Amino acid sequence: MLIIIPVIIGIITFIVSFFWKGAKIAAWVSAAYFLLCLAIGSMSLFQPKVDELVQATKPFWEPVTSIVSSVKWPSFGEVSKTAEKGSKELSDTVKGFIPDGLKKAENGAASGQNKGVNDLFVPLLVSGQESSTKEGSVRYGATLVLEPLDALGRTQGAHILVKDHQEPGQNGEKRAGRLTINPSGWHNFKIGSNWQMDRSHLVGYQFSGLNDEARNLFTGTAFLNRGTNGKGSNQDEVASMLYYEQQLDSWLALHPHYKLDYAVKPLYQGRELVPRQVYLQWVGIDEHGQTLPIQIGGKSQVIQGDVYGVVLENQSPDFQLDYATGRQKK
């Protein structure tokens, strides 16, 4: 009965299609209907066999489905957290194989430490450019630009264009007493009887004439600032700022008609309060505004054209410094 009914319907469909749309359309409609009936019929014929197969294999697959359904599967959120944790552990493992030099470059992203020295180039000042202060050597015609402190109260950079006769010492000024402003991360401590930290100037007093100026001060080790472990000074120490300041001051004295373009920039890592390094850059300017190389040795190197510079480490051979706080590491 199930087979006769589709056959009758198929014949009627063929006749209607033939008289309504023509023989070609009727043939296509009949063929499609035949295939549909064949599929339905096959399902009807084989359904009992399929049911028998399911029942016969039930002892094998039913225990498996029971075990699977009894397992407490993790939620999507739990899977995400596990994947994130695994990714972090893998990242930490990979970092263990990174050479120290590459780690240093990776960690310095926010400070400029990951840059080459040539990438730290500071554009030269232009004669007549407005200064950020009216104090110090600016009173005698020098140009001095001080970058404002950042949100953490950290000094950002200082840049001067100065002649020998514009220095405060050449105009009879004497340096004031002790500094009272505390730069970011300021803490001091002794090793033996010697204090190890200095309130350090970016542009030295001999050029700027500025003493207690927050925009020109940073927390530096005595070794970086004056080349010693806290007692006296050593202007021959090429790892100190004092070495380069003294050499540049001597160059100015030998070239009274020339100008010195001198920039200093602290290099921080992330949100640390104390710079890990300090970048010094300098070049001479003649009466016609042409640049002149000033080769003073030490650790300096060519930055760009006639411009020389050096990156100095804010550290000491006698202790380790916590740059995030400015305290000595225990």
DSSP secondary structure of 90-156: HHHHHHTTS-HHHHHHHHTTTTTTTS-GGGG--PPPPTTPPPS-SSGGGGGT-EEEEPPP-TT----
210 located within any domain: yes
Do the domain assignments include residue 230?
yes
Question: Could you list the residue range(s) of the whole structural domain that residue 34 is in?
Answer: 1-98
Whether residues 24 and 168 fall in one domain: no
Over residues 64-112, the pLDDT tens digits come to: 566 656 656 556 556 555 555 555 554 454 444 444 433 443 344 344 5
Query: Tens digit of pLDDT for each residue in 256-295?
Result: 999 999 999 999 999 999 999 999 999 999 999 999 999 9
Q: Is the pLDDT of residue 242 over 80?
A: yes
Least confident of 2-6, 226-230, 247-251: 2-6
Rounded Cα distance between 227 and 236, Å, is: 8
Residues 133 and 68 reside in one and the same domain: no
Determine how many CB atoms are found less than 10 A away from the CB of residue 263: 25
CATH of the domain at 137: 3.40.570.10
**pLDDT winner (highest mean) among 15-24, 172-181, 242-251:** 242-251
Res 160: pLDDT: 98
**Same domain as 168, residue 295:** yes
Name the least confident of 9-13, 25-29, 113-117: 25-29
Radius of gyration of the chain (CA): 41
Domain stops at, among 50, 66, 98: 98
- 213 and 320, same domain (yes or no): yes
Whether residue 71 lies inside any domain: the answer is yes
- pLDDT above 90 coverage of the chain, percent: 58
26 φ, ψ to 5°? -60, -40
Structure confidence at residue 225 as a pLDDT band (50, 70, 90): very high
pLDDT for residue 144: 98
- Domain end: 50, 72, 98, which one? 98
Residues 217, 260 within the same domain: yes
Structural domain count of the chain: 2
Same domain, 160 and 92: no
Those residues whose C-beta lies under 8 Å from the C-beta of residue 186, and which sit 6 or more positions away, are: 197, 199, 219, 326
pLDDT band at 168 (very low <50, low <70, confident <90, very high): very high
pLDDT tops 90 at residue 19: no
**Does the residue 103 lie in any domain?**
no
What does pTM read for this prediction?
Answer: 0.66
Alpha-carbon span 293 to 168, nearest angstrom: 24
**Does position 324 have pLDDT exceeding 60, yes or no?**
yes
